[in-house]
């Protein structure tokens, strides 16, 4: 190749580079970008769509529910329970025991269930002597069997828990079940928040009754009952 040809080839290369630079300046979308090795790999990795697994319904892996237990009380509201067993090695979702209220009919004679449980310890020595025990409602642990010694100003926790069906508070429907106080609604269901509304409807919103409307009219005053002295 002659020197003239070399010069012409060199000029062509320079012109080509100039064109590419101009195009890169006015058309930035054509510019390349060098990515780091790790970023380049991430860009090339395939993306797979993941689907959220649906929650497993309660009941899978459990045996059938057993028979209901004997009610904890014969009247005035007790608790009965029902058990089931998990038969799957990987475990089961849900509870193994459930409860419901039973024998809500009133007792023929007033019977303080908590008092009965405290009285059962009257013949059990406490710190070397016997006491007559009365029920005591501990606001910090309402479902513990806490009793007060009669004629003495001290209380003692005689059992870690009262029997199922014992009222959490005096005059309340709420019951102690498995060492926990559970709400009882007006529908007599455990865990229910239903209350009787102003219309007397359990779980109502007060829309089924209305206040009576009165129409007032003015009448003449009656004669005074006495003529003097007020």
> Domain of 119?
113-163
Instruction: Decide if 99 is inside a domain.
Output: no
Which tokens go with 83? 């058990």
Q: What is the pLDDT of residue 124?
A: 95
Give the pLDDT confidence of 83-115 residue by residue, as tens digits: 999 999 999 999 999 999 999 999 988 889 999
According to DSSP, the residues that pair with 55 across neighbouring strands are none
Give the mean pLDDT of 203-228: 78
Q: What is the pLDDT of residue 15?
A: 52
Instruction: Decide if 202 is inside a domain.
Output: no
Instruction: Decide if 33 is inside a domain.
Output: no
Give the mean pLDDT of 174-191: 94
Instruction: Decide if 129 is inside a domain.
Output: yes
Give the mean pLDDT of 175-201: 92
Instruction: Decide if 155 is inside a domain.
Output: yes
Give the pLDDT confidence of 13-43 residue by residue, as tens digits: 445 444 444 444 444 444 444 445 554 444 4
Q: How many domains does the chain have?
A: 1
* 138 or 16, higher pLDDT: 138
């Amino acid at each position: 190749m002659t020197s003239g040809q070399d010069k012409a080839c060199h000029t062509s290369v320079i012109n080509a580079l100039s064109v590419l630079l101009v195009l890169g300046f006015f058309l930035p979308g054509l510019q390349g970008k060098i990515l780091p090795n790790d970023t380049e790999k991430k860009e090339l990795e395939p993306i797979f769509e993941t689907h959220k697994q649906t929650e497993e319904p309660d009941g899978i892996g459990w045996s059938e529910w057993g028979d209901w237990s004997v009610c904890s009380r014969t009247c005035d509201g007790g608790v009965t329970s029902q058990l089931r067993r998990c038969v799957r090695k990987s475990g089961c979702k849900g509870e193994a025991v459930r409860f419901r209220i039973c024998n809500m009919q009133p007792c023929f004679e007033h019977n303080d269930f908590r008092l009965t449980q405290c009285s059962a310890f009257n013949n059990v020595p406490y710190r070397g002597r016997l006491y007559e025990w009365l029920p005591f409602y501990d606001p910090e642990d309402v479902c513990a069997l806490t009793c007060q010694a009669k004629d003495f100003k001290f209380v003692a926790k005689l059992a870690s828990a009262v029997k199922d069906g014992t009222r959490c508070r005096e005059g309340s429907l709420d019951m102690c079940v498995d060492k926990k106080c559970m709400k009882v609604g007006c529908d007599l269901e455990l865990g229910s928040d239903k209350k009787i509304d102003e219309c007397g409807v359990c779980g109502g919103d007060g829309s089924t009754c209305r206040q009576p409307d009165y129409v007032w009219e003015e009448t003449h005053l009656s004669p005074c009952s006495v003529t003097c002295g007020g």
